[in-house]
Amino acid sequence: MNTSDVQAQKRRYGIVGNSEGLNHAVDIALQVAKTDLSVLITGESGVGKEIIPRIIHDNSLRKTKKYFAVNCGSIPEGTIDSELFGHEKGAFTGAIGEREGYFGAANGGTLFLDEVGELPLATQARLLRVLETGEYIRVGSSDVRKTDVRIVAATNVNMAQAIRDGRFREDLFYRLNTIPVKMPALRERGDDVVLLFKKFAMDTAEKYNMPDPVELTEAAQERLKRYSWPGNVRQLKNVTEQISILSPERIITPEILSGYIPEDPVTHDIVPLNKRNEGHSFENERELLYKILFDLRNDVTELKKLVHGQRVEREHSSAPQVVERPITYYQPDVTYPVAHAAKGADEFQTPEEYVEETVSLNDVERQVIVRALEKNRGKRRKAAQELNISERTLYRKIKEYGLDKEDI
Ligand SMILES: Nc1ncnc2c1ncn2[C@@H]1O[C@H](COP(=O)(O)OP(=O)(O)OP(=O)(O)O)[C@@H](O)[C@H]1O
């Protein structure tokens, strides 16, 4: 293994970790990059398979040509052939114009077929043909076209089982698997888990302008290493973000970790997140939640500034003082104390009047959505963009909170 090349690639792509399995995967990617051999990357969901095809393409002779990543599992069975191989005008109802398809568009370049194990059998036959001969036919056409595409595929399904079940063609498997690359599960990477936690903690602190990233005690590091991480690096990233944002403590102990990962090191209670399930994606929910929490924190900070400003003003005019409140972080399952919204300078409250009111997270979420809808004059697409969530999630939330019955 050329260690310095491997280290350079890891720096280039922001890959964190130094375990043997990870270094080996990057090394193989580098070694095969200059060939046109097909590569099949295997590994559990969330282990970081997507980076390997990028390394291969960027270090290949095709690097100046197109690179496409296609998630085969997220494309409906009815349209996958047309997406991959293109279609002619009028090939099926709704085919208003012709479509080139990825195999045509990537000519000369690289195509990354993620979740290749999910391809329907008919598409597998087409894929085998193009891999063996470079030939393919658009849907609704009889013309044979030629293309020169390098295929890198990835899967998290057990291919041997899929072949036994008749869900995946054995001949295609061998064709794709010319060079196998195995991405190890996070639980097999030893200290990498701690390095990754540090990276994600720093990224989160930077992203949200936090003064200091969270840090792990020695015991907490051991606890992270003992846990089985069924959702792998993706799960660790989410957990680190959650801790960074939700924990008022910045030094993380095993006790604090217990609120975020199960005590039982091998339990699969925390379900791996499914990126493909866009309509009800946890990533979207999480983003919305983070946004709410940050809006809330910003509101409190603003309020604090306002209170401070008012206090200074009133001190000068010997008016009654207002008690300053520390900013509180949100804690799961705890209602959040907020001061009454500032009403305007003249209506400002005295300490006696300054009451705490609790709002649930749902109330806050509802308010944030109403605010975004009002601001965008009911335009849901714009509101969803502003909230950084998908339109489908916004529609669902609107229904959930009965906002569709309100005049916004
Ligand atoms: N070694 C690593 N260093 C830094 N970030 C990583 C590393 N491995 C994975 N990640 C990050 O973890 C997340 C999940 O990785 P990725 O999407 O590549 O997983 P995957 O194996 O393709 O999962 P799936 O099979 O579900 O598609 C991404 O945000 C990725 O950037």
Maximum Cα–Cα distance across the chain: 89
pLDDT in the model for residue 278: 35
Give the Cβ contact number of residue 264 at 10 Å: 10
pLDDT in the model for residue 149: 97
Cα 82–chain centre separation:
27
Same domain, 128 and 76: yes
Which atom of ligand 1 has the smallest separation from the CA of 274?
26
pLDDT in the model for residue 129: 97
310 close to 324: Cβ distance less than 8 angstroms: no
Residue 328 resides in a domain: yes
39 close to 179: Cβ distance less than 8 angstroms: yes
Q: Looking at this predicted complex, what is its ipTM? A: 0.97
Q: pLDDT averaged over the chain?
A: 82
Question: Tokens 């989160």 sit at which residue?
Answer: 204
Same domain, 28 and 134: yes
Hey, which of 16, 51, 183, 233 would you mutate to test ligand 1's pocket, going by the most ligand atoms within 8 Å of its Cβ?
233
Instruction: Indicate the residue among 223, 257, 291 that finishes a domain.
Output: 257
Q: Which distant-in-sequence residues (6+ apart) come within 8 Å of 350 by Cβ?
A: 320, 321, 322
Q: Of 314, 336, 313, which Cα lies nearest the Cα of 325? A: 336
User: pLDDT higher for 279 or 212?
Assistant: 212
Q: Of 375, 365, 362, 363, which Cα lies nearest the Cα of 408? A: 375
Distance (angstroms) between ligand 1 centre and the Cα of 163 equals: 26
In tens, the pLDDT along 70-110 reads 999 999 988 999 999 999 888 787 778 889 999 999 999 99
Residue 106 resides in a domain: yes
Question: Tokens 């496409």 sit at which residue?
Answer: 68
Signed CA dihedral, 278, 282, 285, 289: sign only: negative
- Angle of helix 192-207 versus helix 232-246 axis, rounded to 10: 50
For the chain, give me the number of helices (H) and strands (E)?
16, 11
Ligand 1, atom 30, lies closest to the CA of: 48
Residue 266 resides in a domain: no
Q: Is 107 in a helix, a strand, or coil?
A: coil
User: pLDDT higher for 184 or 299?
Assistant: 184
Q: Does the pLDDT of residue 275 top 60, yes or no?
A: no
What is the arithmetic mean of pLDDT over 303-312?
66
DSSP 331-373: -TTSPEEEEPPP--GGGPPPTTT--EEEE-HHHHHHHHHHHHH
Q: What is the CATH number of the domain that holds 379?
A: 1.10.10.60
Ligand 1, atom 15, lies closest to the CA of: 48
Q: What is the CATH number of the domain that holds 206?
A: 1.10.8.60
pLDDT in the model for residue 339: 29
Q: Which distant-in-sequence residues (6+ apart) come within 8 Å of 237 by Cβ?
A: 196, 200
Q: Which distant-in-sequence residues (6+ apart) come within 8 Å of 298 by Cβ?
A: none
Same domain, 180 and 288: no
User: pLDDT higher for 91 or 328?
Assistant: 91
User: pLDDT higher for 211 or 33?
Assistant: 33
Distance (angstroms) between ligand 1 centre and the Cα of 161 equals: 24
Residue 103 resides in a domain: yes
Q: Does the pLDDT of residue 350 top 50, yes or no?
A: no
Residue 271 resides in a domain: no
Same domain, 13 and 134: yes
Hey, which of 47, 157, 186 would you mutate to test ligand 1's pocket, going by the most ligand atoms within 8 Å of its Cβ?
47
Instruction: Indicate the residue among 150, 184, 218 that finishes a domain.
Output: 184
> By percentage, how much of the chain surpasses pLDDT 90?
57
The pair of three-digit structure tokens given for residue 222, joined into one six-digit string: 């051991």
Burial of 333 (0-12, 13-18, 19+ CB in 10 A): exposed
Q: Exposure pattern of 199-238 as b/e (b: 16+ CB <10 Å)?
A: bbbbbbbeeeeeeebbebeeebbebbbebbbbbbbbbbbb
Q: Of 6, 11, 33, 31, which Cα lies nearest the Cα of 21? A: 6
Q: Is 216 in a helix, a strand, or coil?
A: strand
pLDDT in the model for residue 309: 65
Instruction: Indicate the residue among 149, 184, 219 that finishes a domain.
Output: 184
pLDDT band at 301 (very low <50, low <70, confident <90, very high): low
Same domain, 401 and 295: yes
Which atom of ligand 1 has the smallest separation from the CA of 41?
21
Domain assignment of residue 209, given as a range: 187-257
Q: Does the pLDDT of residue 198 top 90, yes or no?
A: yes
pLDDT in the model for residue 330: 30
Distance (angstroms) between ligand 1 centre and the Cα of 183 equals: 10
Ligand 1, atom 18, lies closest to the CA of: 48
In tens, the pLDDT along 42-73 reads 999 999 999 999 999 999 999 999 999 999 99
In tens, the pLDDT along 353-367 reads 333 344 566 777 888
Rounded to whole angstroms, the Cα distance separating 143 from 78 reads 21
Hey, which of 41, 50, 278 would you mutate to test ligand 1's pocket, going by the most ligand atoms within 8 Å of its Cβ?
50
pLDDT in the model for residue 265: 63
Residue 14 resides in a domain: yes
Burial of 3 (0-12, 13-18, 19+ CB in 10 A): exposed
Ligand 1: which residues within 6 Å by Cβ? 14-17, 43, 45-51, 114, 156, 196, 233-234, 237, 275
Q: What is the CATH number of the domain that holds 9?
A: 3.40.50.300
Kind of pairing between the strands at 336-339 and 356-359: antiparallel
What is the arithmetic mean of pLDDT over 234-252?
94
pLDDT in the model for residue 1: 75
Distance (angstroms) between ligand 1 centre and the Cα of 394 equals: 26
pLDDT band at 342 (very low <50, low <70, confident <90, very high): very low
Signed CA dihedral, 331, 334, 340, 341: sign only: positive
Ligand 1, atom 9, lies closest to the CA of: 48
pLDDT in the model for residue 169: 97
Same domain, 155 and 100: yes
Q: Is 407 in a helix, a strand, or coil?
A: coil
DSSP 15-84: -----HHHHHHHHHHHHHHTS---EEEE--TTS-TTHHHHHHHHTSTTTTS-EEEEEGGGS-HHHHHHHH
The helix (run of H) or strand (run of E) holding residue 206 is helix 192-207
The helix (run of H) or strand (run of E) holding residue 219 is helix 218-226
What is the arithmetic mean of pLDDT over 316-324?
42
Q: How many domains does the chain have?
A: 3
